[in-house]
Chain A
């Protein structure tokens, strides 16, 4: 039972262009979503989050969009940089769970110079 799905295992983008990473979820109890970035040999690092009461959250080059009716969220990176090349995970959680995260499988983003 995969409650969070990232259906694209990989994405390749040219430097300066937009990267769009997608995520679908099935658990309607999730009320908070997060994106994490992971470099090889490092732990995941928090990137950006969004509450279910919002449909957009922006932080610099990173914007997360949430479509609750479609149970879909996406992460936009504009402009993409080679240093953004990493594995990106989306995760869902519920209020009061103190961060019991349910992760997707991840998407490998490669940004070419």
Chain B
């Protein structure tokens, strides 16, 4: 069983640009959540996808969007990047029908916006 992987590991973008971050969930996990972790803070929930549909959203503007694909991969897209978007972005996947809330996190993508 492979773990959750994310790409790229690090990314540097300029303010105003757009970025796409990718996540590959564990096989059989049809729920994926994305989190933003600013320096010195805990992860903050961005949104969650379940069977390719958005299933809940945290306090993030619409310029944060996502996609989930049938092959257990997903994307986080951020438009019009701002300096405050600099953070570690984590994806986490859960098995289908999970009732006990355990999630499996990837190592994250470190995004720097200059």
Contacts and interface: CB of A to CB of B under 8 A. Distances in A.
B100 interface: yes
B42 A100 contact: no
Contacts of A93: 101
A100 B45 contact: yes
Interface size class of B (residues with CB under 8 A): 20 to 34
A45 B105 contact: yes
Given A105-B41, A106-B42, A46 B48 contact: no
A42 interface: yes
Nearest to A42: B107
Contact of A101 (B50, B55, B103, B104): B103
Nearest 5 A/B pairs, CB to CB: A43-B105, A103-B42, A99-B101, A99-B103, A44-B105
Interface of A: 4, 6, 32, 34, 36, 41-46, 49, 89, 91, 93, 97-106
